[in-house]
Chain A
């Protein structure tokens, strides 16, 4: 046995580690993760108080709503325009943890608190709106001053080419992610998503939120003109929230696919291990 030839171990290269996320980005990421979850769940509670959406300046029960989550004596439904879908068990009519049937729009597991309280939902929402606003402002300043925007998020001219975007989209659809050096940089779709969230969606959430405030309407009446009225602002607030949920779902799917341990570790410690280059198949 001792004479046996030692098997040739395949050469396993040391993983290359790069410092990918600086401290402000990491802190903001996790504060935001908690903040957005609280804002979403308390926001769904606030929606439950009046589960109808309108366009324009006004809108109440006797006006035409473009979106309604409602209930009949034995079902729950979602209506968007003239399209109606049965949502019994999830939206409009569902059973709570104690087995009691409820007819609030969003179910207890999705709201803060779990049982109906508009007052408490508002308290959570209107406090954490401050956390979001202050955090986003600081982060925006940091991306501009600290070079994050210029170095990491700036989209170069070549990246704007439809061919490049199409190529990146195809690679994502095939679940083929960049490896080696390329994995240290953001792809065009990543850049567009992050820029879209940081500079479009989150500011839009804050601005439409403020447009619903009668006090802010007196201070900045132009907000009403920008969004086409208070009820339009409420609708846009709701739609943008779902755009953020969509971003979250894709974000989580990508993290799971790209290697959750490495990805999550890099967002905690900052250090990211570059996935090795693909070996060519014979």
Chain B
């Protein structure tokens, strides 16, 4: 038995040393200082660059997100972020069924537009059943209906100098209006649509009524809701804090959210 007992005793002694080392674990809060150091943040942001560059190189411009059948729909499509924009203006729009809602298409375009919901619904429509992936980790499958963004941009005559499309929203978080942006690859992608219906019914307010973006190869926070303006720009520097979106500006979510 001796030969067994001894190593066990050794193990306990050595494990004790390990536990003592683990007692130093609170020192790991020093990790937070590392996390916050500007140089470290710069290095960390390299990951986003590598992910964007590699995915853009790997994924065909027109490669489609998987489309599902109605049998695959989530029983309930979870809304997230703003569920009801504050303010009398939005309430009035909602009360009138968004009859007077306008979506302005401006910026680097030959013919600025001001589209009503009737105009949007009169365009050729795309219906797609896709999976919505929140950055938090959950997924929901829903059916979306709306015109392709590229048709809207073509209607406005978007100029070659436009490199990004910015989506302005009617919902305010804190004191700032939500906004998002994407590059022209995603803007012109066939599944990038301005959706006004979910699962065959008029888009609920919690899900972004009357109009929201679907940008199927990126995470949920890119899918701007309550959209009232679409703007073609050459640079994102002068928009918001310059990082291309509400959450990007505030807490450093990645602008490229393909992963």
Interface residues of A (CB under 8 A from B): 46-47, 49-50, 52, 57-63, 97, 108-109, 112-115, 117-120, 122-124, 126-130, 174-176, 210, 212-219, 221, 224, 230-231, 234, 252-253, 256-257, 260
Contact B216–A214 (Cβ < 8 Å):
yes
A114 to B135 alpha-carbon distance, docked (Å): 19
Contact B58–A221 (Cβ < 8 Å):
no
- A278: nearest chain-B partner, CB-CB: B3
User: B residues within 8 A CB of A224?
Assistant: 66
CB distance from A135 to the nearest CB of B (A): 14
CB distance from B158 to the nearest CB of A (A): 23
- A65: nearest chain-B partner, CB-CB: B138
With contacts A214-B219, A224-B66 known, is A256 near B51, CB below 8 A? Answer: no
User: B residues within 8 A CB of A174?
Assistant: 4
Query: In this assembly, does B180 line the interface, its C-beta being within 8 Å of a C-beta of chain A?
Result: no
With contacts A123-B48, A257-B7 known, is A217 near B136, CB below 8 A? Answer: no
Over the window 12-52 of chain B, the binary record of Cβ atoms lying under 8 Å from chain A Cβ atoms (1 yes, 0 no) is 00110010000001101101100100000101111110110
A213 to B31 alpha-carbon distance, docked (Å): 27
Contact A60–B140 (Cβ < 8 Å):
yes
Partner of A57 from B25, B63, B65, B72 at Cβ < 8 Å? B72
- B137: nearest chain-A partner, CB-CB: A50
Interface centre among B25, B51, B247 (most CB of A within 10 A): B51
User: B residues within 8 A CB of A109?
Assistant: 25-26, 28
Interface centre among B4, B15, B72, B259 (most CB of A within 10 A): B259
User: B residues within 8 A CB of A112?
Assistant: 31, 35
CB distance from A256 to the nearest CB of B (A): 4
| CB-contacts of B52-106 with A (<8 A) | 55, 58-60, 63-66, 68, 72, 74-76, 78
A130 to B53 alpha-carbon distance, docked (Å): 13
Query: In this assembly, does B211 line the interface, its C-beta being within 8 Å of a C-beta of chain A?
Result: no
Additional A-B contacts beyond A60-B140, A129-B47, A130-B47 (4; CB < 8 A): A58-B72, A114-B28, A118-B136, A257-B10
User: A residues within 8 A CB of B45?
Assistant: 123
Query: In this assembly, does B218 line the interface, its C-beta being within 8 Å of a C-beta of chain A?
Result: yes
Query: In this assembly, does B254 line the interface, its C-beta being within 8 Å of a C-beta of chain A?
Result: yes
- B32: nearest chain-A partner, CB-CB: A113
Partner of B59 from A63, A215, A260 at Cβ < 8 Å? A215
User: A residues within 8 A CB of B253?
Assistant: 119, 122
Query: In this assembly, does B133 line the interface, its C-beta being within 8 Å of a C-beta of chain A?
Result: yes
With contacts A112-B31, A175-B8 known, is A219 near B47, CB below 8 A? Answer: no
User: A residues within 8 A CB of B60?
Assistant: 219
With contacts A175-B4, A257-B7 known, is A58 near B141, CB below 8 A? Answer: yes
Contact B32–A122 (Cβ < 8 Å):
no
CB distance from A3 to the nearest CB of B (A): 39
User: B residues within 8 A CB of A60?
Assistant: 74, 76, 78, 134, 138-140
- A254: nearest chain-B partner, CB-CB: B11
Contact B58–A219 (Cβ < 8 Å):
yes
User: A residues within 8 A CB of B258?
Assistant: 213-216
User: B residues within 8 A CB of A50?
Assistant: 134, 136-138
CB distance from B126 to the nearest CB of A (A): 16
CB distance from A72 to the nearest CB of B (A): 21
Contact B66–A217 (Cβ < 8 Å):
yes
Contact B11–A257 (Cβ < 8 Å):
yes
Contact A234–B141 (Cβ < 8 Å):
no
Query: In this assembly, does B251 line the interface, its C-beta being within 8 Å of a C-beta of chain A?
Result: yes
CB distance from B12 to the nearest CB of A (A): 10
A49 to B251 alpha-carbon distance, docked (Å): 14
CB distance from B193 to the nearest CB of A (A): 15
- B64: nearest chain-A partner, CB-CB: A218
User: B residues within 8 A CB of A128?
Assistant: 47
Contact B7–A175 (Cβ < 8 Å):
yes
CB distance from B67 to the nearest CB of A (A): 10
Partner of A260 from B14, B43, B75 at Cβ < 8 Å? B14
A163 to B72 alpha-carbon distance, docked (Å): 49
Contact B131–A63 (Cβ < 8 Å):
no
Nearest 5 A-B pairs (CB), nearest first? A215-B258, A127-B47, A50-B137, A213-B259, A60-B138
User: A residues within 8 A CB of B14?
Assistant: 256-257, 260
User: A residues within 8 A CB of B76?
Assistant: 60, 62
| CB-contacts of B178-212 with A (<8 A) | none
